[in-house]
């Protein structure tokens, strides 16, 4: 069987969920006869956490240097790189990569596969790009998305249904072992000033409006004074000032740790008693899969692909988005209802092995690329 070449275009400066999935896929797909070259963008510093990780992984890397927004050389550089690689397929991630691939005429060089991870809403500019993306995606040979609601949304944008595939994210069985040891977790607790008697609520993700950290903060504030949990917020983003303001308004300064961007959230699951996703919008969230694999019980909003992954009362507790009362009640149940957290965590961990093993996802993707190359 002939080996295939894939050019994967992604804008990433840290190890985000899509970046982590791409790296895992590129490493595994070698065994299935597919060689991936990752193409990314830098502005200012020529090296960042993502580029360093790609190089350390031994995956071929091409870097497009940008001098600023709307740098006309970027399109030309991207076209020259892809022509030199001569891939059997081009893969893009997120709005910027989709748009540049279309402008650079890459669909005329090789079949184009676009990964649709959903949209964030940080600025008016970003929302305008999102609207443009809905037109751009109509030109892709395949659009891979992470939930059935996203598929329906894409069809409403004019993307042909036969070109759309729903592929959930994946995570290795056994992920989360790092930090589960008593010594490691004790050190991490001490570094964050969390005493041994405090229950820890963990939320992992970009600090952006659609993650709705404010609802979680309001619900956590209501758990005082009888439970007095400690909230750990892992991630960075434009919502940090509003989150910090709400922490002050609620008087939670001593009950919240904001870690900033982390190369991996894995150690923090080792100290967590509960993981929460308070999102208003989600696809196939890596933070949910991480908590499940690490054996941490989950309270999550029933949005996007979350109900496709976990079931309310069987493997997680699901609440309405933006509902402070429901979130408070669900978290309180996790901490006070005997055996509930353990039962849900055990079942969710089983689901990872049954449905979200990375090898199966990789083989499905390779099959898609082979069918397009053929």
Domains parsed from the chain with CATH numbers? 4-170+357-373 (3.40.50.2000), 182-355 (3.40.50.2000)
Q: Residue 264 has what DSSP assignment?
A: -
Q: Distance between CA 92 and CA 55 in Å, rounded?
A: 19
How far apart, in Å, are the Cα atoms of 30 and each of 50, 286, 333, 361, 374?
Answer: 20, 23, 45, 14, 18
Provide CB contacts within 8 A for 16, sequence distance 6+: 206
What is the band of 125 on the pLDDT scale with cuts at 50, 70, 90?
A: low
The encoded tokens of residue 224 equal 């005082």
pLDDT digits (tens, 9 = 90+) for 207-249: 999 999 999 999 999 999 899 999 999 999 999 999 999 999 9
pLDDT digits (tens, 9 = 90+) for 315-345: 999 999 999 999 999 999 999 999 999 999 9
Q: What angle do CA 164, 166, 169 make, to 5 degrees?
A: 140
Provide CB contacts within 8 A for 318, sequence distance 6+: 299, 300, 301, 302, 306, 307, 310, 311, 312
Q: What is the percent of the chain with per-residue pLDDT over 70, rounded to a whole number?
A: 97
Could you tell me whether strands 256-260 and 274-277 are parallel, antiparallel, or unpaired per DSSP bridges? Answer: unpaired
pTM of the predicted structure, to 2 decimals: 0.82
Residue 104: Cβ within 10 Å count: 22
Chain centroid to CA 175: how far?
Answer: 15
Residue 223, pLDDT score:
96
Task: Identify the CA nearest to 12 among candidates 165, 87, 117, 102.
Answer: 117
pLDDT digits (tens, 9 = 90+) for 90-117: 999 988 899 999 999 999 999 999 999 8
Burial of 262 (0-12, 13-18, 19+ CB in 10 A): middle
DSSP helix/strand/coil, 283: coil
């Amino acid at each position: 069987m002939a080996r295939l070449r894939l050019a994967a275009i992604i804008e990433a400066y840290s190890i985000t969920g899509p970046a982590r999935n791409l790296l895992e896929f590129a490493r595994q797909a070698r065994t299935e006869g597919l060689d991936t070259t990752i193409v990314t963008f830098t502005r200012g510093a020529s090296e960042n956490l993502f580029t360093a990780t790609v190089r350390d992984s031994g995956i071929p890397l091409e870097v497009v240097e940008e001098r600023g927004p709307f740098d006309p050389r970027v399109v030309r550089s991207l076209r020259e790189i892809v022509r030199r690689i001569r891939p059997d397929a081009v893969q893009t991630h997120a709005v910027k990569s989709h748009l540049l691939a279309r402008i650079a005429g890459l669909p005329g060089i090789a079949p184009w596969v676009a990964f649709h991870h959903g949209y964030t809403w940080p600025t008016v500019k970003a929302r305008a790009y999102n609207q443009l993306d809905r037109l751009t995606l109509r030109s892709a040979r395949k659009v891979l998305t992470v939930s059935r609601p996203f598929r329906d949304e894409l069809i409403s944008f004019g993307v042909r249904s036969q070109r759309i595939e729903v592929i959930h994210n994946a995570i290795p069985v056994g992920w989360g072992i790092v930090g589960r040891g008593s010594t490691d977790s004790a050190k991490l607790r001490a570094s964050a000033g969390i005493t041994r008697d405090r229950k820890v609520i963990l939320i992992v993700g970009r600090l952006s409006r659609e993650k709705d950290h404010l609802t979680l903060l309001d619900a956590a504030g209501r758990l005082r004074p009888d439970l007095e949990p400690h909230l750990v917020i892992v991630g960075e983003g434009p919502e940090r000032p509003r989150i910090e303001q709400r922490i002050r308004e609620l008087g939670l300064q001593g009950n919240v740790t904001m870690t900033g961007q982390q190369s991996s959230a894995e150690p923090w699951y080792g100290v967590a008693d509960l993981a929460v996703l308070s999102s208003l919008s989600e696809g196939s969230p890596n933070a949910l899969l991480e908590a499940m694999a690490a054996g941490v019980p989950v309270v999550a909003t029933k949005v996007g692909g979350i109900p496709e992954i976990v079931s309310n009362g069987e493997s997680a507790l699901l609440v309405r988005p933006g509902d402070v009362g429901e979130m408070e009640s669900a978290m309180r149940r996790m901490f006070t209802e005997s055996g509930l957290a353990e039962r849900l965590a055990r079942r969710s961990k089983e689901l990872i092995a049954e449905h979200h093993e990375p090898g199966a996802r990789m083989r499905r993707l390779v099959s898609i690329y082979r069918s397009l190359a053929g």
